[in-house]
Amino acid sequence: MLKPRLRSFLGVMALAWGVTACGSPSSNVKKDDTKGGAKAKLDTEIPEPQVGGPGEMVKKFDLNKDKRADLFKVFVYGTKNGKRVPVLVRAEIDLNGDGKIDVRRFYTDDIKKRAEFDLDFDGRFDVIHFFDDEGNLVKKAYFMRSRNPRRPDLLKYYEVVGKKKARRSVLVRKERDDNLDGRVDYWEYWENGNLDRIGRDTDYDGSVDVWEKGGSSR
């Protein structure tokens, strides 16, 4: 059974990405454009996240109807079919209303390229998803223990399979840095959804010392 926070997270994410796919701004949207329910109460002690920079336009959405914006769509002007139009470059979400961005999603030519998640709401992004030129997931980087943004402690690699209208990403490899020295110490190789083999670097020299047959998922 999903934990309450995870259920809430998935629900808000689904709604947020649905909203992200719709609409473009003709101008900046002001704070009073976010309308909440009749019983919603605004906590004025926590400011909205500051989103957007020079040359960017921000459209705001109030997903949980508390009269505070929690989804921010960021646009810049570009050219499409010979016309100057707003182009979505980023979407940012404050999931728990603490005034900090917990999810960021980046776009190029209307295709998602990267997504970042702060799963424990500490202001630091814990997981990054990477996508190919068609928006298919190809890699996940986890920073659950590592504090170095260039040294994830776990990487997951995916292969895109299936025909164009039914493409999906399938896990093919995991790499883990157990002692956080910047080198992989543990490998998992997956085939057809099953763990095929495991490699371990027991002396932390960067090479596999022990191979094990797979058979159980992690």
CA distances from 114 to 75, 90, 95, 111 (A): 16, 10, 18, 9
Query: Which residue in the block uniquely carries the two structure tokens 């709604």?
Result: 15
Split at pLDDT 50, 70, 90, the class of 1 is: very low
Reported as a single tens digit per residue, the pLDDT across 69-94 is 999 999 999 998 899 999 999 999 99
What does the pLDDT look like over 15-46, one tens digit per residue? Answer: 555 555 555 554 444 444 444 443 444 455 78
Helix (H, G, I), strand (E, B) or coil at 200: strand
C-alpha pair distances (Å), 137 with each of 106, 130, 151, 174: 13, 6, 20, 14
Residue 106 has pLDDT above 60, yes or no: yes
From CA 122, how far away is CA 190, in angstroms rounded?
32
**pTM as predicted:** 0.79
pLDDT tens figures, 174-217: 999 999 999 999 999 999 999 999 999 999 998 999 999 987 54
Assign 12 to helix, strand or coil: helix
Q: What is the mean pLDDT of residues 160-170?
A: 91
Angle at 106 between CA 105 and CA 111, to 5 degrees: 110
* 109-161 residue pLDDT tens: 999 999 999 999 999 999 999 999 999 999 999 999 888 888 999 999 999 99
What DSSP state is assigned to residue 17? H
The residues that bridge with 200 in the sheet, in sequence order, are 186, 210
| Residue 81: partners with Cβ closer than 8 Å, 6 or more residues away | none
Q: What is the pLDDT of residue 45?
A: 72
pLDDT at position 111 is 95
**What would the two tokens of residue 92 be?**
């940012």
Q: Rounded to the nearest 5 degrees, what angle is found at the Cα of 9, between the Cα atoms of 112 and 67?
A: 95
Residue 160 phi/psi, 5-degree rounding, is -90, 125
Q: Which of 169, 213, 170 is nearest to 195 (CA)?
A: 213
What are 137's two structure tokens?
């997931």
Burial 176-190 (b: 16+ CB within 10 A, else e): bbeeeeeebbbbbbb
